[in-house]
Amino acid sequence: MSKAILVVDDDKEIAELIEVYLHNRINDRCR
């Protein structure tokens, strides 16, 4: 996860997309 943050450190838009993706992924696991 730390690597992904470093890669998209300069691109906040992509960082937000990854955040939403990970968030949705965690919610799916809980269900």
**Which of the four pLDDT bands, split at 50, 70 and 90, describes residue 20?**
very high
| Mean pLDDT over the full length of the chain | 76
pLDDT at 31: 66
pTM for this model (two decimals): 0.46
The single-letter DSSP state of residue 1 is -
Residue 15 token pair: 């960082």
CB–CB of 8/18 below 8 Å? yes
**Which of the four pLDDT bands, split at 50, 70 and 90, describes residue 15?**
confident
CB–CB of 14/8 below 8 Å? yes
For tokens 């906040």, the residue is 12
Count the domains in the chain: 1
| d(C-alpha 16, C-alpha 31), whole Å | 23
| d(C-alpha 8, C-alpha 18), whole Å | 9
